[in-house]
Amino acid sequence: MTHLSKRGHMKRTAGELAEYLGAKLSGDAHAVVSGVASPETARAEDLIYLDSARHRDRAASSAARTVIARSDSGLEGKTILEVADPKFAFTKAAASILDEPAPPAGVHPTAIVSATARLGEGASVGPYVVIEDDVSIGARTAIEAFSFIGRGSRVGENCRVHPRVTLYPGVRLGDRVQLHSGAVIGGDGFGYVFGEGRHWKFPQIGSVEIGDDVEIGANTTIDRGSLEATRVDTGVKIDNLVQVAHNVQIGEHSVIAAQSGVSGSSTIGKHCVVAGQVGIADHCRLDDGAVVGAQAGIPTGKTIRGGQIVWGTPARPLDRFKEQYARFARLPELAERVRRLETSTNRR
C-alpha cells in the first residue's frame, strides 16, 4: 500500500487515495488531490465528500474533480472514491493530506530547560518555555511558546503541546497527545474536609495519567488525583472549557463536549458520549457506551447503564424525558383547566 505521510501538505492521486482508504475507484486514477474543501469553495484539486442524496447538486456543481461518496451517489463527470462511510473516509484522507508540519526541532534561545531534562530526537522547544528538573520529552514532540512542564513529568513521542499549556509536576502523557492553548493538567483537586471550624485541605498528592492519541481542548483543566491518579485513557477527546476533577477515570475513546464538568471520583467508561454543559456529580458511573444529552445533570452516586441515552436534570432515560417534557410544556393549559374546574365546583 502506498505510504501517506502524516506530516505536511501533500499531493496525492485519486488512485493512491483509493488504495489508502480501501475505496472502489470510478474515474481518473491519475486525478491530483492536494487539499480538501466544501463543495462551494473547492478548487479542481480539492477533495470533497457526499454523504446524503439531498446534497448531490452541491457536489455535482462543485469545481472539485474528486469526490468521496457511496456507490449509489449518482454523480457523473467526477472521479468517485466509493466507500460505505464518506464522512469518515474524508476525515481520514484529510488527516493524511493536511496534517500540520511539526515546528522545527531544537530549543529556542529564550527557553529555560533544566540540565536534568531529557529531550528526544527531533523535539522542539519554543520561545519562553520552562522545562523543570527530571522531565522527559519524547522524540518529535513540540512544546510551544510560554508552556510550562513541571518537574518529573513525562511527555511521549509525537505530542503537540500548544502555547501557554501548564503541566504540573509528575504528569504523564502518552504518545501523539495534543494539548491546546490554556490547558492546565495536574492542578490540585477541590478537596476539603471541614473540622474545628474551618476547611482543611485533603492531600492532593496523586498524579494525572493520559494515554495515547488523546486530544484536550483549550482552557480545559484536569486535576491530579488526591492520593492516587486521575486517568484519561487512549483515544479520549475532550473539548474546550471542560473541568475534570481529582480521581476521575475516563475510558478509551470517550468524548466530552464543551463546558461540561466531571466531579471527583466519577468514572466514565469506554466509548461514552458526554454532550455540552453536562454536570456529573461525585462518585457517579457511566458504563461503557452511555450517552448523556446536553445540559443534563447526574446526581451524586448515580449509575448510567451501558448503551443508555439519558437527558435532563436529574438525568433519566431519553424516552421518559421526552414524555415528561411534553407534559411539562402543557402545564399552562392544564393549570387553566384546573382553575376552570375549581371555579365550576365552587359555584355549585
From the list 162, 246, 253, 271, the catalytic residue is: 246
Q: Helix, strand, or coil here: 339?
A: helix
Helices assigned H by DSSP within the chain: 14-21, 56-61, 86-98, 318-329, 331-347
Is the separation of the CB atoms in 153 and 171 below 8 Å?
yes
In contact, 62 and 43? CB cutoff 8 Å: no
Cα separation, 130 vs 7, whole angstroms: 26
Half-sphere exposure of 141 (CA within 13 A, CB side): 22
Q: Which of 129, 117, 246 is nearest to 191 (CA)?
A: 246
Say whether 253 is catalytic: no
CB 25 within 8 A of CB 80: yes
Which grid coordinates belong to 284?
Answer: 457517579
Catalytic residues: 246
